[in-house]
Amino acid sequence: MSIKPATILKLTLLGFILVAIPLTIGLLNTMLQVDRLAAQMQKAVHDSTQAVESGRLITTQALNMERSALQYLVLRDAGILSRYQSQRESFNQEIQRLLRLPLDTALAQRLQQLQEHEARLYQKLQQVPDETTENAKKLEPGEQLSNLAASIPFDVTTLIARESRRMNQQIRRVRQLLLWQAAALIPLALLIAAIFSVLISGPLRHLGAAIRQLGSGQFDTPIEVKGPQDIRELGKQLDWLRRQLAALNEQKMQFLHHVSHELKTPLTTIREGAGLLHEGIAGSLTQEQREIVQILHSNSLQLQSQVESLLNFNLALSQEHPPERKIIDIASLIAKGVEKHQLTLKSRAISINSHLASLSVNGDTEQLQAIIDNLLSNAIKYSPEGGEIQILLQQQNQQLLLDVINRGESIAEEDKPYLFEPFFQGKSPSSGPVRGTGLGLSLVKRYLHLHGGTIELLESTERTHFQVILPLAAQVSTES
């Protein structure tokens, strides 16, 4: 039977109760064992005290009775016999009290023997004639009660020592029992606690994974959270939110695609018209008019580049793998990217320090080139005048490592979690003339994902260090 409480609170309370049950049983059993042991010890102390007292009284009374018997045999005084009878009653009472205690066989036999001898002595005293011989005035060895009772205190001491050893053994048994009980109940309680920790934390982990799934933009996988009823209901609400976000995301993509295409056609017309004006097709232009046409042409190219970035990003989101795959030398793509940015590099006196191994990957040329171009463009934008950009291409195990490092102000801590989010533009100042769309690094991350790679911003002071990791298709040991 599976445990399916209605709420996480009930599951938690049930866990506490089940953990408390073995501990409570252990506590009650411990109290019972301790109370039982205390009662046994109290009884042992009481019996020992009574045995010592009775042994002492029996010895004393035996001696007194023996004296009274001798006096009666000599004097024939009825008062002495009466005194003996009184002593005899006390003597027998103490023997009976001692016999009621848990005695060993030897001591019990000795007490019974002492009673028998005393009974014969009493019978002799009752049958003494008026006139007796000198021998009749003496006690026979079997009638000398003090000699028979002399060993009783020692026997009682031996009995108490044996009882003390028995109690020590009982204490050790109880202690061992309690240790075994603790050794069994504590792991059981911990096991129950661990089981309920898994039962409680499992649904919460699934819930956290579902939230992270939504946060990462994965709206295709249905959300199903198992566990208590309240957690399942929350999972259903998250799945409803997933469907709503998926619909909104689809609408956003359709809007971006539509707007991008709608802008691309008039931009092409503007760029071509500016080109015709610049070439003088519509007539000669003054210097000021040429400058205006140049500005129109330059800005139309920049705007067209941003629109194409939107289209490429929209297309990349709908792709599950690169459009085509072939063996591509990454070092050659880096060289093309550097060549493409030569004018900007020269205008700002930025130098490139590259150390490139000849390594190849299996992928799409345009997307891999876009990765390198965006990383270079980003490094140039945030490099100071006269700065240096380091490009390192090396192999680590079966992976390609591409490091792009530029000096300058490091990325703000509050910007780092959102660095690869679409349309995000950080607070760090750039040296470029125009702010971008904020899609560059998002596009890099998406293209790398399609190629099974990753990108990471490494911790560094006074510089920005991006590291790209891609699976290798082939390795060549030469360096350029």
Going along the chain from its start, the domains and CATH numbers come out as 8-183 (1.20.120), 229-317 (1.10.287), 322-479 (3.30.565.10)
Give CA 13 to chain center in angstroms: 20
C-beta neighbour count of 167 within 10 angstroms: 17
Per-residue pLDDT of the chain (480 residues; tens, 9 = 90+): 444 556 777 878 888 888 888 888 888 888 888 888 888 888 888 888 888 888 888 888 888 888 888 888 888 888 888 898 898 898 888 888 888 888 888 888 888 888 888 888 888 888 766 555 555 566 776 667 878 888 888 888 888 888 888 888 988 888 888 888 888 888 888 888 888 888 777 878 888 888 887 776 677 788 887 877 888 888 888 889 888 888 887 777 777 667 666 766 776 777 777 777 767 776 677 777 777 777 777 677 667 666 666 666 666 666 677 888 899 999 999 999 888 888 888 888 889 998 989 899 999 998 899 899 889 988 888 888 888 999 999 998 889 999 999 887 777 778 777 777 776 766 655 555 445 566 778 888 888 888 999 999 887 776 888 999 999 985 433 333
Q: What is the CA 298 to chain-centroid distance, rounded? A: 60
> How do beta strands 454-458 and 474-479 pair?
unpaired
Q: Which two tokens stand for residue 310?
A: 């939107």
